[in-house]
A and B are shown apart, each in its own frame.
Chain A
Amino acid sequence: MRAPVSTAIAIATGLLVLLGAFLPVPVLLPVRQILLSWTIPVAATAGLIAILNLLSVHWRKLNSARERDYYSIILLLAFAGTFIAGLLLGPTDPNFQKVVTYIQFPVEASLMGVLTVTLTYASIRLFQRKRGWLAVLFTASTLLFLILLSGFLNIPENIPFVKDLLAALNTLPIAGARGILLGIALGSITTGLRILIGADRPYSG
């Protein structure tokens, strides 16, 4: 067996957490709570490792002769500046928080705004690529819910037929969504069980 210690830790931890959630055994609940609390700092360390890996990748790209990317220096300098500012000011400093407010937020929001144009263009070209009945149904559903979301059909009067119709239209996606959610849940259960029994070991590598 490959990585027996890690497999034992994974199985043991998983069983304790799972049993603590379902079995009304008094000792299991605190164990579960403690184990879950330990995951937070360990996950934070994993996040730090991910950031260090990102920096190393860009550093390598900067020093690479073949695939040199000069934009990486911008990334590294931005990271260095932000990190140093955070170390000096602290994360709770209002000025440091402006990094989120005036840099992260504008850029991400603008990217989302550009996504509007891209999605619109993609939906326009849908029938240029595919012309099956599913494409027609998908487009029709998209148009319907766009109209519903826009509020264009907000009639001021409470007409029962329209109300029921709108209610019915709003509940149409629920069936499919529920089916999708159930499918995801079943898949998650399967995957989790495979990890708990040691069949899958994504950590041994």
Chain B
Amino acid sequence: MDVDFAWTAVAFILTLLTLSYLLGDNPLFRLAAYLFVGVSAGYVAVILLFEVIFPRLVVPLIFGSASEKLLAVVPAVLSVLLLFKLSTRLTTLGNPSMAFLVGSGAAVIIGGAVSGTLFGQIRGAIQPFALTQSGNVLQAGSQLMGGIILLIGTVLTLIYFQFSARRKANQQISRSAAVQAAAFGGQIFIAITLGALYAGILAAALTALIERFDFLRTAIQTFLP
């Protein structure tokens, strides 16, 4: 029996078991789901051991040079300390490792947000106003108009997420009228964006469904003599 044929059959059965969720939660679907989780966990464990831990920690410490060993000691110690997180009594010993990860991650995120998004998006927001790149007036006009809309939309969206408010004379807590009006405009742009995102998700899911139905069709053609 061809191994590929067996694997195809396995994939075929698992596809059908998973698509049975259309009929509601049933034991067949749960069987496929639990099997999937177990296999995924096993695969990831193997990948981590063979592709990361073993080559980056074990091999340098055992077979590496002095510099490699020196470089491998700290992550090794941090990794060992992190293992204590499995113990409820000794879980505090893993805090330094977690602190190392959190600290480095926070710094990376700050750097990326500042240089990658903040500066980049601001530059992108004002870039349409660089009319020197446009060819003719019409294009410049459309570019300008687009830039203005984009800028206004961006600003209104940012204002919508500002929830600071003050207590007024009548003891009501609310934002100012200008902020509320701007937030209303921001809601419009956010609704449009979320609609586009929702449409994209639908499209992507439909693509996956089409691919699965195509697989089923192909598999049936394979199984059939």
Using a CB–CB cutoff of 8 Å, the interface residues on chain A facing chain B are: 3, 5-7, 9-18, 21-22, 34-49, 51-55, 71-72, 74-83, 85-87, 90-91, 95-96, 98-117, 119-120, 123, 134, 137-146, 148-150, 164, 168, 171-186, 188-189, 191-193, 195-196, 201-205
Contacts and interface: CB of A to CB of B under 8 A. Distances in A.
B118 A185 contact: yes
B146 A168 contact: yes
B106 A137 contact: no
A137 B118 contact: no
Contacts, number: 397
Nearest to A195: B106
Interface of B: 3, 7-8, 10-12, 14-15, 18-19, 21-22, 30-53, 56-57, 71, 74-76, 78-79, 82-83, 85-86, 91-92, 95-118, 121-122, 124-125, 142, 146, 149-158, 160-161, 186-206, 208-209, 211-213, 215
A173 B78 CA distance: 44
A52 B41 CA distance: 9
B103 A10 contact: yes
A74 B38 contact: yes
23 contacts: A9-B103, A13-B100, A15-B107, A17-B103, A42-B101, A48-B45, A51-B48, A79-B41, A79-B42, A83-B42, A83-B45, A98-B7, A107-B14, A107-B33, A113-B209, A113-B211, A116-B209, A138-B191, A142-B199, A175-B151, A175-B152, A192-B109, A204-B95
A79 B38 contact: yes
Contacts of B115: 21-22
Contacts of A55: 41
A42 B191 CA distance: 41
A103 B74 contact: no
Given A110-B19, A117-B22, A185 B117 contact: yes
Given A103-B14, A115-B205, A175-B153, A83 B106 contact: no
B26 to A, nearest CB: 12
